[in-house]
Structure 1
Amino acid sequence: MAVEPNLGLDEVVDVLKAAGEPTRLRLLALLSSGDLTVTDMTEILGQSQPRISRHLKLLGEVDLVRRYQEGAWAYFRLKDDGAGVALVRHALAAASVADPVLARDRERLQSLKVARAERAQAYFSRNAADWDVMRRHHVSDEAVEAALLELLGDEPVDGLLDLGTGTGRILQLLEGLYRRGVGVDASRDMLAVARANLDRAGITKASIRHGDIFNLPLDGQTFDLVVIHQVLHFLEEPDVAIGEASRMLAPGGRLAIIDLAPHGLDHLRDEHQHIRLGFGEQTMTDWLARASLSVENFIHLRPEPDDGTRLTVTVWLARDGRETDAARPEATIAEGGDASWR
């Protein structure tokens, strides 16, 4: 739930002073639409980098914008929460969509997003063959996504963290479930693809971050749902990544893992850089328990025909053990299956 304005008089004056300048208000309008670099903002507003940086510094001093580093680039966006941010959003909502200055800014922002999308599509096209090959190895993306949605149900999600976000598909799939989302990936090329996809879908409540899954650039205990989708089999120490994901969870939060069941397709090591050939039930359960997470449900999605050349995908759902006084659903294996967790 968004924080309602609850500021003292001096705080209101500070926020209004920071936001009440034409260039800074234009910047806030742009940053309410997603992540932008200083270079992006200089192109849109036609102002120098030092001037834009100075305005951003003033906005940051009153806690209106968030800055994060991605290699040599610094990205900015309007913060998700805070009484000052709520006040600014009211001001932005009062501005006419027909205002010629704001309309021109929106047009330039759209042109920037189109160029961003074209660059991302060029990268994706160069690498699409690998994704297509992998899709032929296991059940369809549609079946996996349906299973994930089934396990998650309609429990409200305030903060979603998608680790190894790739194309940003999970942020799009779960858009109706979360209030704010963050996708993290180690590949800057994939981050470009994800940003372009979020732009195309008009999703502004999710941001994309560059980061190491073993040492996330985020505050712990701030997400009530973390998703790791087809990432762990690329890692030398998947259990360590699960531990880091657990650190991100708020008390009672949930971790969803989508990955491969054990298999014997050894050629995937060389051809697609798989380090682990899937994960068994006991191994995954032990890792989750070590991270203070308890298994609620998991679903085995077996390919048809199951001829040994295609892979089974498992969707796991675990919950943080610090939850109190909440009814826990009984965990089951749902594959039209015959076993259950007790």
Structure 2
Amino acid sequence: MALLDVFRALADPSRLRIVHLLREMELSVGEIAQVLGQSQPRVSRHIKVLVDAGLALKRREGSSIFLTCAPSLLAVPLFNLLDASAGAEGDHWTRADRARLAAVRADRSAAAERWFAAHATEWDKIRSLHVPEAEVEAVMAELLGRDLGRLVDIGTGTGRILELLAPAAHQAIGIDRSPEMLRLARTKLDGQKLGEQPVELRQGDINALQLPDASADTITLHQVLHFLPAPASAIAECARLLADGGQLLIVDFGPHEREELRVEHAHARLGFSDGQIRGWLGASGLDLVDTRTLEGGELTIKLWLAQPCLKRSKVKAA
């Protein structure tokens, strides 16, 4: 019956076009309606059929609903069949949809450029206070290694850390509270995939992440902790997500006295000491296994690498 549902769902030309679009990139309902030239209510009815048949996944982000292809055992042979039937260039509908999809990408890029134009000064001011980001990223890659397994980047912002690390992961998820930031990340990561699986972006709160226990092999918190009023709670939530043998990398500022960052840029904490981080990690069942210090400006960048402690693993095994 599941196979019949799949073929019934694909029997409608509009739904077939939607599947082709979702294979290209994650799209909102409004963006799909824009490409198809149909009303949002009509598109929503098509989407319900695809979701019920297991061909698409939907998630809410603020007031918007986003769609992506659902991973399934049928996906690869089904997509191969669709590609073979359409030929290298696709039919006239596919070609027209790709052209309109380019307009959606252009709209996203324009929105990203407007946001950065409005905020570039404050970003550049903070960057000028510490070593170049390229140096930080090189140390991150060195500490984490080449096989990241299931990667979760919390506070993903513009998606730069996913762009850097996702190629070394089997699955990659970026989470941020801000819909504006997620729109920027979506523009940056447009078209990037891990095999058949695209990088996934979700809206969420770091203190209550909608992910199961032990579902991540690698977690990154890059320049996030200093914005949080309760860092210990965030680290505890990371510990809940981290599988045994996994790794958590925190990148943030060492202690400093730049009070204007609190006033002008909403920094809740003026950096962290090794002792603070070690204490919060230990309280959450994590061991601090490596630290790095990058000096070269008015602000010091610190990197803390943690893993689940042996005691936690033994308790689970018992």
Fold match, TM over 0.5? yes
Is the counterpart of residue 280 in structure 1 residue 270 in structure 2?
A: no
Conserved in 1, the CA contact under 8 Å of 2:176 and 2:203? yes
Q: How many residues align?
A: 306
- CA 34–134 in structure 1, closer or farther in 2 if over 3 Å, else same: same
Unaligned 5+ runs, structure 1: 1-9, 305-309, 325-342
Residue of 303, 306, 316 corresponding to 1:315: 303
- CA 290–91 in structure 1, closer or farther in 2 if over 3 Å, else same: farther
Cα drift, residue 249 of structure 1: 2.2
Match of 2:139 in 1: 147
Match of 2:178 in 1: 187
Conserved in 2, the CA contact under 8 Å of 1:246 and 1:320? yes
Match of 1:75 in 2: 66
Q: Distance in 1 between matches of 2:166 and 2:81?
A: 26
Cα drift, residue 323 of structure 1: 5.7
Cα drift, residue 197 of structure 1: 1.0
**Partner-residue secondary structure (3-state), 2:221:** strand
- CA 90–291 in structure 1, closer or farther in 2 if over 3 Å, else same: farther
- CA 12–158 in structure 1, closer or farther in 2 if over 3 Å, else same: farther
Match of 1:16 in 2: 7
- CA 34–249 in structure 1, closer or farther in 2 if over 3 Å, else same: farther
Residue of 84, 108, 111 corresponding to 2:74: 84
Q: Distance in 2 between matches of 1:271 and 1:194?
A: 24
Q: Distance in 2 between matches of 1:64 and 1:251?
A: 32
Please report the RMSD computed on the Cα atoms of aligned residues, expressed in angstroms.
1.9
Cα drift, residue 33 of structure 1: 2.2
Match of 1:293 in 2: 286
Q: Distance in 1 between matches of 2:48 and 2:42?
A: 10
Conserved in 1, the CA contact under 8 Å of 2:151 and 2:166? no
Amino acid at match of 2:14: T
Match of 1:7 in 2: none
Is the counterpart of residue 209 in structure 1 residue 198 in structure 2?
A: no
CA offsets 1:174-231 (integer angstroms, 9 cap, x no match): 13211322211122221221111112xx314212222211122333332211111101
Amino acid at match of 1:88: L
Q: Distance in 2 between matches of 1:184 and 1:129?
A: 25
Amino acid at match of 2:280: W
Match of 1:55 in 2: 46
Conserved in 2, the CA contact under 8 Å of 1:15 and 1:84? no
- CA 227–89 in structure 1, closer or farther in 2 if over 3 Å, else same: farther
- CA 241–92 in structure 1, closer or farther in 2 if over 3 Å, else same: farther
Cα drift, residue 173 of structure 1: 0.7
Q: Distance in 2 between matches of 1:323 and 1:64?
A: 37
Amino acid at match of 1:113: R
Q: Distance in 2 between matches of 1:19 and 1:261?
A: 55
Residue of 4, 7, 31 corresponding to 1:40: 31
**Partner-residue secondary structure (3-state), 1:300:** strand
Match of 2:236 in 1: 243
The structure where helix makes up a greater share of residues is 2
Match of 2:296 in 1: 303
Amino acid at match of 1:270: V
Deviates more, 1:52-61 or 1:145-154: 52-61
Match of 1:223 in 2: 216
Cα drift, residue 296 of structure 1: 2.4
Amino acid at match of 1:52: V
Deviates more, 1:280-289 or 1:87-96: 87-96
Q: Distance in 1 between matches of 2:202 and 2:288?
A: 28
Q: Distance in 2 between matches of 1:87 and 1:291?
A: 44
Q: Distance in 2 between matches of 1:65 and 1:250?
A: 28
Q: Distance in 2 between matches of 1:220 and 1:103?
A: 43
Q: Distance in 2 between matches of 1:157 and 1:20?
A: 39
